[in-house]
Amino acid sequence: MGSARTHDLRTVLSGDDIARASRRIAHEIVEKAKGASDLVLLGIPTRGVTLAHRIGAVISEIEGIQVPVGSLDITLYRDDLRLHPARALEETSIPEGGIDGKIVVLVDDVLFSGRTIRAALDALNDVGRPAAVRLAVLVDRGHRELPIRPDYVGKNIPTAASEQVRVRLTEIDGSDSVEISTGGER
């Protein structure tokens, strides 16, 4: 027996795939909102923020106006705080103009149990009162534990619960890719 770690790594999204998905999401956001005038994109740290900036850049390209982009750290709203030592906080940066009456699009890289988004909704609630909150994710890997659903998805990728989804973005990791790793590592 023994624990030979079998590391099966397969790439499910290439750099080009990510770029296309981001463009499509940007278009879908603008379509549903009928324009970009009341949009605010809030990325969930860490990689959600990078994606939010990319999507925001595409929207600006399409619509010709600057969309406010910020970040929303959800650490203090997590429901599992008591299970680990106190975590370091990430940056929360709400764009000038706030979120009251706006269409807030939360942006994250991977949607899994849904607890992160639940925490984000609670955090938003204390920041202000948006006209609507929508959710854009690059990857939806299933296994929801709460009734949360995304409005815009880059790719639906069914996974086993034991698998790990690894998102790499150039600004942070040096290259763009989404990989799934199976096997030994839990």
Partner 1 sequence: MRHLLSAADLDREAALHILDTAAEMAALSDRSVKKLPTLRGRTVVNLFFEDSTRTRISFELAAKRLSADVINFAAKGSSVSKGESLKDTALTLEAMGADAVVIRHWDSGAPHRLAHANWIGGSVINAGDGTHEHPTQALLDAYTMRRHLRDGKGALEGVRVGIVGDILHSRVARSNVLLLQTLGAEVTLVAPPTLLPIGIETWPCEVSYDIDSVLPKVDAVMMLRVQQERMQDAFFPTAREYSRLFGLNGERMSLLPDHAIVMHPGPMNRGMEISAEVADSDRAVMVEQVANGVSVRMAVMYLLLGGAKE
| Nearest-approach distance from CB 88 to partner 1, in angstroms | 7
Q: Residue 108's closest CA among 62, 141, 143?
A: 141
Q: Which residues contact 35 (CB under 8 A, 6 or more apart)?
A: 63
Between 11 and 125, CB nearer to partner 1: 125
- List strand residue ranges (DSSP E) for the chain, in order: 8-13, 39-43, 69-71, 103-111, 132-140, 152-156, 164-168, 177-182
Least gap, CB of 151 to partner 1 (angstroms): 25
Distance between CA atoms of 114 and 32, rounded to whole angstroms?
23
Q: Kindly tell me which of 81 and 160 has the beta carbon lying closer to partner 1.
A: 81
- Report whether 7 contacts 181 (CB < 8 A): yes
Smallest gap, in angstroms, from Cβ of residue 89 to partner 1? 4
Nearest approach, Cβ of residue 70 and partner 1 (Å): 11
Contact residues for partner 1 (CB under 8 A)? 73, 76-77, 81-92, 122, 125-128
Residue nearer to partner 1 on the CB measure, 128 or 183 = 128
Which of 77, 112 has the CB closer to partner 1?
Answer: 77
